[in-house]
Structure 1
Amino acid sequence: MKPSGSPRTRLGDISFLNCAPIRWGLSDSGAAHGIDVISAPPERLAAGLLAGDLDISPVSLVRYLRHADDLCLLPGLAIGSDGPVRSCHLVSRGPLEELDGRVVALSEASRSTALLARMLLEDAIGVRPVYRALRRDALGHDPGGVPRTAGAAVVIGDDALRLWADAPGGLTVHDTGEMWRNWTGLPMVFAVWAVRRTFAQDHPDAVAQVGAALTDAVRRARAHPREVAAAAAREARGSSAGAFGEGVLLDYYRALDYSLGDRQLAAIQEFSERAAARGEVPAPLSARIPMPARIPILGGRT
């Protein structure tokens, strides 16, 4: 129990369907009643965490890497895949090998997928596109998420899941989780649960309780996949995501991986080294925070 007078922990929740299983698990256990859950898109959650408006939140991997001195990871939890992820795509009008010099629209909703797409295009495929930022509201009614002036676009979240389920004619959906796995042999970690380091130091019991509740939520969701898919379908119908079939969601949640084990930590290290080589993060984690695991896990720097 939290001591009388202690503030309620403010927990971020990605408002996309990728976190619907965790919402279901927190509700099933009753743990959601003991914390303040704030739902928003990933970048808004990251801004809130860094500003001190949230205590614990999922954030894109890039956001974490850029602020690893101020944040630590909640153990055991991430959002990723060991192969296709179904909801983080490069969507193109033609072969990716023909994108040299052409415009690729990058989603502002997730910095991790945008940077991953650049790595894949430039380093794995060997093309040099011209990148343009793309706001979600700029798509209008374009069902494919690729502006007419672009050869390809990065699309994430519920929009990407819909494209995977039913891609419009003339477009090819390239799953970035699958592309990364084929390129590196590693799973891809798109987001992690991060804790403000000062909050972790001041409220270790609260952090441990939330971490246990989230881990339990994942376990519960994995044990009841059809109930989770049905609940997510109901949630989608009442939101901007729109209707999704339960079968689509069931397949989606089988693809998602919420674990943060040794292979995922190795993937984070690999991504950080590639990002640092591009100047996208200050330095690889191993250079910035020396430790046996090379990753700043909750509990300090050792």
Structure 2
Amino acid sequence: MTACGTLTARLGDISFLNCAPIRWGLADSGAVHDVDLVSAAPERLAARLLSGDLDISPISLVRYLRHADDLYVLPGLGISSDGPVRSCHIVSRDPLEDLDGREVALSDASRSTTLLARMLLEDAIGVRPVYRTLRQDVEGMLKTARAAVVIGDDALRLQADVPRGLTVHDTGAMWRNWTGLPMVFAVWAARREFAQARPDVVREVRAALLDAVGRARSHPEEVAAAAAREARSGRAGALGTPVLLDYYRALDYSLGERQLAAIQEFAARAAARGEVPGPVSARVPVHAPALGG
């Protein structure tokens, strides 16, 4: 990334380990010094992007679909999995088929995964649970609920060491089995007014992010080791390098035709439920609009 002159783009960074490879790549290239990197949980980043406190940020798919008119998607960049994602789960004490009428706790840290979980439970499995949104704390959520929707590092640690009596259902794998498509959990987006005013900066940030992905993919062991060190300093405890290597093999940071088809499928299902505005075709980034236009 070339220097942005006197302007520093305010760039969101998901503070979970799913974006650790991006952080590593930006640091390796030196591009991290050209942006004002703001780390936070996904919902906090979305709120800051939509309020104008950030210029560019990863944003959950559901949040994007609800605010597509105000955002410009950076082509080629997303967070998805074509099968198990390892960090977005329905954690259950009961078989999912037995959750009809039972309480399912939804993480307040998520929009896309909680809606995905509801689709899977109601439309794919055919049960109608009673939902309750709670602060993400698996032990606390399961004090009354029979299942919980959990995302991020907590979910990753749960899969690595499943507590007795619980079953972890990977929502990425469930979506793939149901639709045959990847699941896109997030895209990178700029505020549309910022993209129109400073297309040069948006292009530079996009190039830096794509470069960061490439660097991370070329050094998987170094990235996993750095992420393991980051995990040890986190509140929920350590994760081993082998676990993180498997995790980053599962994650896909591209946004190609297959991922765009998956977004279209998710958006159509969400719109049919009244969860996102229509018409769907106008809100799905099949082709990104021209910068500055």
Quickly name the TM-score band, shorter chain normalised: over 0.9
Give % identity. 74
SS in 1 for 2:37: strand
Q: Contact between 1:91 and 1:146, CA under 8 Å: does it hold in 2?
A: no
Are 1:299 and 2:282 matched, yes or no? Answer: no
What is the deviation of 1:282? 1.0
CA distance in 2, matches of 1:155, 1:66: 22
Are 1:99 and 2:90 matched, yes or no? Answer: no
Task: Spell out the pairing of 1:23-42 with structure 2 (5 A cutoff).
Answer: 23-42=23-42
CA distance in 2, matches of 1:163, 1:301: 44
1:219 paired residue among 214, 220, 228: 214
User: Compared with structure 1, are the counterparts of its residues 169 and 301 closer, same or farther at alpha carbon in structure 2 (3 Å cutoff)?
Assistant: farther
What is the deviation of 1:96? 0.2
What is the deviation of 1:238? 1.5
What is the deviation of 1:301? 11
* Runs of 4+ deviating beyond 4 Å: 1-4
SS in 1 for 2:173: helix
1:233 paired residue among 222, 228, 233: 228
What is the deviation of 1:235? 0.9
Q: Contact between 2:195 and 2:292, CA under 8 Å: does it hold in 1?
A: no
Q: Contact between 2:92 and 2:146, CA under 8 Å: does it hold in 1?
A: yes
Amino acid across the alignment from 1:54: L
Q: Contact between 2:80 and 2:182, CA under 8 Å: does it hold in 1?
A: yes
Amino acid across the alignment from 1:210: V
SS in 1 for 2:286: coil
Counterpart in 2 of 1:166? 161
SS in 2 for 1:58: strand
What is the deviation of 1:71? 0.5
User: Compared with structure 1, are the counterparts of its residues 3 and 10 closer, same or farther at alpha carbon in structure 2 (3 Å cutoff)?
Assistant: closer
Gaps of 5+ in 1: none
What is the deviation of 1:296? 5.9
Task: Spell out the pairing of 1:143-154 with structure 2 (5 A cutoff).
Answer: 146-154=141-149
1:276 paired residue among 246, 271, 277: 271
Q: Contact between 1:68 and 1:296, CA under 8 Å: does it hold in 2?
A: no
Q: Contact between 1:2 and 1:206, CA under 8 Å: does it hold in 2?
A: no
SS in 2 for 1:216: helix
Provide TM-score, normalisation by structure 2: 0.96
Provide TM-score, normalisation by structure 1: 0.93
Counterpart in 1 of 2:199? 204
Q: Contact between 1:86 and 1:160, CA under 8 Å: does it hold in 2?
A: yes
CA distance in 2, matches of 1:294, 1:240: 36
SS in 1 for 2:254: strand
RMSD after superposition? 1.6
CA distance in 1, matches of 2:78, 2:127: 30
What is the deviation of 1:297? 1.7
Amino acid across the alignment from 1:127: V
What is the deviation of 1:149? 1.2
